[in-house]
Structure 1
């Protein structure tokens, strides 16, 4: 890992800890459909199994999503990516990075891990084809050395999938 991932090693703020404890408790009581949090002792890094929704191209397929929380969560969006191999999708790169506006420019502190997961499942469910983004090879080549997806200047132009 490079210095770009160093913030994830810093201790969470008290606000972030309290918020994540609350979200984790709510998740355990009422997890979003299609998601299973894999329990570990790291509140700052969640691993979540994502199962494709019935009637979609990803039905019954399971993928692993990692969600890492910044020190000042929820004021800053979490970093979310799929462990390769992630789903073949026009907004998911082969290195697992996800092009989804709520993870970057459209993040709001009112959002939760559950709302992020539901948005990702909705994005998967609406896909008309299983394919990589057109610029996948160039993007992945430029993301060497564990570069964070948050370092990318995303261009959100396609809201159909």
Structure 2
């Protein structure tokens, strides 16, 4: 019974923090990010729209929708971000839309030894800092630890002077996001 009371209290604290952070995001002027609730009565599930500018790797700009789901243990555990259809063709986004970025990995030692604990989730992160990191990932994809191997291979080949296949796939994805296809 005490564990349930603790969980319930933690969820209430998490909900208050998320309400505050959502309000702060609505009152700040963050270029390229729009957030709201998926369902009016659920503060733990946010709809996110990222407006990717013309200057990044996503040539021509794009609008990508995602759902950011927060655990009841937030801010002690990270949220999860899943892009909706069309899923961006990106080295750090699994084909099912789930985002793979170090700051959203649980706050523990990486069992594979790739990331240090300092690169992983920390309660100092906020939805705003997370989404700004995601925007920067569109500017500079990380092909060192890819979630989408095909995207990473095509990006590497293009960086090495190979065919512009990555750019072609990204443009198709951008057109889909803008409703052109």
Q: Kindly indicate which of the two structures has a greater share of residues assigned to helix.
A: 2
Where structure 1 has 5 or more consecutive residues not aligned to the other structure, the ranges are 1-9, 137-161
Q: Is residue 22 of structure 1 aligned with residue 37 of structure 2?
A: no
Scaled by the length of structure 2, the TM-score of the pair is 0.62
Task: Please tell me whether Structure 1 or Structure 2 has the larger radius of gyration of its CA atoms.
Answer: 2
Partner Cα separation in structure 2 for residue 33 and residue 47 of structure 1: 16
Moved over 4 A (4+): none
User: Across the two proteins, how many residue pairs are aligned to each other?
Assistant: 126
Structure 2, unaligned stretches of length 5 or more?
1-6, 107-119, 152-181
- 2 CA distance for matches of 1:79 and 1:54? 26
Give the superposition deviation at 1:90: 0.9
- Give, in angstroms, the shift of residue 96 of structure 1: 0.3
Are residue 118 (structure 1) and residue 132 (structure 2) matched?
yes
Match status 1:134 vs 2:144 = no
1:2-81 map, 5 Å: 13-39=11-37, 40-41=39-40, 42-58=42-58, 59-81=60-82
CA distance in structure 2 between the partners assigned to 1:113 and 1:47 by the alignment: 12
Taking the aligned partners of 2:150 and 2:34, their CA distance within structure 1 comes to 31
Partners of 1:88 and 1:132 within 8 A in 2: no
- 1:107, 1:69 → 2: CA distance? 13
1:112 and 1:18 map into 2 onto residues whose CA distance is: 14
Cα separation, partners in 2 of 1:113 and 1:90, compared to 1, 3 Å:
same
Report 1 or 2 for greater relative contact order, CA contacts < 8 Å, sequence distance ≥ 6.
Answer: 1
Residues 14-54 of structure 1: per-residue CA shift (max 9 Å, x gap): 21011101101101101532111134412110011111133
Number of the residue aligned with 2:89: 88
**Scaled by the length of structure 1, what TM-score is found?**
0.69
